[in-house]
A and B are shown apart, each in its own frame.
Chain A
Amino acid sequence: MAVVYEFVWQVLHVLLHIHRTLITWFRTRLRNWNGQLWSRALTALLVPIALSFPNPKNLVPAPGKRVGRRYRCGTDGKSLEKLPDHIALLIAEEEPRYTDIANLVVWCMAVGISYVSVYDNYGVFRRNNSRLMDEILKQQQELLDLEGSKQLSVEFLNNGTVKQDQQVLSCQSVLKVLSPDDGKLRIVQAAQQLCRAVEQREKTSKDINVTVLDSLLRESKSTPDPDLVLKFGPVESTLGFLPWHIRLTEFISLPSHVDVSYEDLFSALQRYASCEQRLGK
């Protein structure tokens, strides 16, 4: 009898995996198909107009997947009821794609989110910090080319050192690159620090409470806890992301960060805007 149950279980899980794969396949096909459809439609419409006007440069759409995508990040941001102060991008997938992450970071900042964090549970982003920064600067440049007037200044906060960007300030965002060491290990280090203070009779154990620990774990007084975590990938877990800081964080899952679009990000932000926090009351 146990063999029968096991067989049925295997069949069930095979079906679920097929189901998942089909959904992923459909999603990517649909997007590519849509993109091609759009570019063909627009080209068909605009080519006659382009030929009749002396300056066709602005009317012919750029090739590739940028066609049809809205780039009104600033106004989109203002249209939302509430915007997170601090958004975290949790990549729960095996192979991170730097271009896609950079896109997400740049869009978040353009929409008006002040603090953006990037996390993966292998610490890959931490180790390849400079590569990520280069990608972000590159994507930022592309975004500026398309949006025109908006200037972004990005402060890269990493291990406490702050590198100032050269561009003109009109809106400022802070990027943090996080790894599992910023989670439990940081809490343990703070605990060690407090215990050392007790050992040296600078503090007593009764002085230790939530506020004291919180001030040690806060990187700077102004950095808020993450309001929203966008999780990319099939794994349903926080994978060690900042346990102390996520007590009131909303979690929104997206299937993958590979070829993620601005619309995906914006619909997640819309979902966040509609949630209600009762704070225990």
Chain B
Amino acid sequence: MMWMSTNIFYSRGVSLNMSWIREGELNLIEKLSANILKAGPMPKHVAFIMDGNRRYARKRQMERQEGHTQGFDKLAETLRWCLNLSIHEVTVYAFSIENFNRSKDEVDGLMELAKQKFIRLLEEQENLEKHGVCIRVLGDLTLLPLDLQQHIARAVVATRTHNKCFLNVCFAYTSRHEIANAVREMAWGVEQGLIKSSDVSEALLSQCLYSSNSPNPDLLIRTSGEVRLSDFLLWQTSHSCLVFQSVLWPEYSFWNLCDAILQYQLNHRPLQKARDQHREGQALQQHEADRACVADLLQHHGNGKPLDAQRRQEALLNYTASREERVQDFLGVLQHKRDSFLTDLTSQAALA
């Protein structure tokens, strides 16, 4: 996976003086190509598996850590390209829970660099505000060292209200943990009496994932030639365009990105069709589930007489409305729980 650098680039005129987003404009040919691509459908949310840093380091005969450093430079550059292409949401796979299996030295090194990067981010708060960058970190933060948790919390809380572009960093993350966590949260909701087990649905599960504030990625890109998902956004990418590219991440170019977007455009219509079909199926299932619940309720609370169609329809509408209200309230409580966890970390950090 990728990591960090302290390069700052200045351009002619006012600079976007941030280490996380590299300064620069597209050259003429790049601008032309970008404009041509933008005439077609563009992904609004792109996810990256930034693979190949260590192989790049071996290839160039440099230290492994340097490979991670250059990987982070490349991330900064790619974010710049995404903004130029009007892609306003990017999710990256920074550190998997499986990566804890690496040597202690490498893991400690990555944790230390992460910490420095988040500290650096906070120093650039003005710029973040100016460009409306919202940073979110997805994963089980409790697995990380406490000081890193605190720095992450501060960065996330500081940029919470920004809404021009979104960077989601998956840290201490695997998709299975995310899904299991969502199920656990729903079970917690049931325990607290906020929702019923019959309220559990695909839509509700999606809302309980770490990524609940983002739409599903339109495009998932994996570099370095590996053709697997490695436990990344498995739920969210079920109808996304998957592009596997053989280039190593630190060597990624603007043209690689354009190629991926072209693939997205070629797949756009069939994927849209598949997505719509899936959504219709989901709506039907929800409707059937509501019907079954209403039938159950009427049986238990009715006086044995069968209700006419109109009363049944009324009962169904009422049930659906109350279920939706219940679910919204639960989601509000869940969001508050997550926000409080982060705010508590920041106040701990302030006291320390």
Any B CB within 8 A of the CB of A36: no
Contacts of B187 in A (CB 8 A): 194-195, 198, 203-205, 208
Contacts of A249 in B (CB 8 A): 228-229
Any B CB within 8 A of the CB of A70: no
A183 to chain B, nearest CB (A): 7
Q: Which of A47-55, A100-108, A145-153, A185-193 contacts B (4 or more CB under 8 A)?
A: A185-193
Any A CB within 8 A of the CB of B85: no
Contacts of A195 in B (CB 8 A): 183, 186-187, 190, 197, 200
Residue of A nearest to B242 (CB): A236
Any B CB within 8 A of the CB of A243: yes
A137 to chain B, nearest CB (A): 31
With A192-B197, A213-B180, A246-B234 already in contact, the answer to whether A13 and B202 are too (CB < 8 A) is: no
Any A CB within 8 A of the CB of B241: yes
Q: Is the CB of A247 within 8 A of B99?
A: no
Could you mark each residue 222-238 of chain B with 1 if its beta carbon is under 8 Å from any beta carbon of chain A, else 0?
Answer: 00001111110011011
Q: Which of B162-170, B259-267, B309-317 contacts A (4 or more CB under 8 A)?
A: B259-267
Please tell me the number of chain A residues within 8 Å of chain B, measured between CB atoms: 58
Residue of A nearest to B262 (CB): A16
Contacts of B131 in A (CB 8 A): none
List A187-235 residues whose CB lies under 8 Å from chain B: 187-188, 190-192, 194-196, 198-199, 203-206, 208-210, 212-214, 234-235
Q: Is the CB of A247 within 8 A of B35?
A: no
Contacts of A163 in B (CB 8 A): none
Could you mark each residue 247-281 of chain A with 1 if its beta carbon is under 8 Å from any beta carbon of chain B, else 0?
Answer: 11111100000000000000000000001010111
Any A CB within 8 A of the CB of B257: no
The winner among A2, A180, A239 for most chain B CB atoms within 10 A is A239
Any B CB within 8 A of the CB of A184: yes
Q: Is the CB of A237 within 8 A of B267?
A: yes
**A243–B200 Cα gap in the complex (Å)?**
18
With A235-B270, A243-B234 already in contact, the answer to whether A251 and B39 are too (CB < 8 A) is: no
* Contact pick for A192, options B200, B240, B278, CB 8 Å: B200
Contacts of A204 in B (CB 8 A): 187, 191
Contacts of B270 in A (CB 8 A): 234-235
With A12-B36, A16-B266 already in contact, the answer to whether A184 and B202 are too (CB < 8 A) is: yes
Residue of B nearest to A227 (CB): B228
Could you mark each residue 243-268 of chain B with 1 if its beta carbon is under 8 Å from any beta carbon of chain A, else 0?
Answer: 11000000000000000001101110
Q: Is the CB of B190 within 8 A of A199?
A: yes
Residue of A nearest to B177 (CB): A210
**A2–B39 Cα gap in the complex (Å)?**
8
Q: Is the CB of B102 within 8 A of A281?
A: yes
List B67-123 residues whose CB lies under 8 Å from chain A: 96-102
**A121–B174 Cα gap in the complex (Å)?**
25
Could you mark each residue 3-21 of chain A with 1 if its beta carbon is under 8 Å from any beta carbon of chain B, else 0?
Answer: 0011011101100100000
Contacts of B100 in A (CB 8 A): 280
Q: Is the CB of A236 within 8 A of B263?
A: yes
Any A CB within 8 A of the CB of B205: yes
Q: Is the CB of A238 within 8 A of B238?
A: yes
Residue of A nearest to B270 (CB): A235
A213 to chain B, nearest CB (A): 5
A159 to chain B, nearest CB (A): 18
Contacts of B278 in A (CB 8 A): 180, 240
Could you mark each residue 205-228 of chain B with 1 if its beta carbon is under 8 Å from any beta carbon of chain A, else 0?
Answer: 100000000000000000000111
Inter-chain pairs besides A213-B179, A243-B238, 16 sampled, C-beta below 8 Å: A13-B266, A192-B197, A195-B200, A198-B197, A199-B190, A208-B180, A208-B187, A212-B180, A236-B263, A237-B240, A243-B175, A247-B229, A247-B234, A248-B228, A248-B230, A252-B227
The list of the 7 closest CB pairs from A to B, nearest first, reads: A280-B98, A9-B39, A195-B197, A205-B187, A247-B231, A6-B39, A205-B188
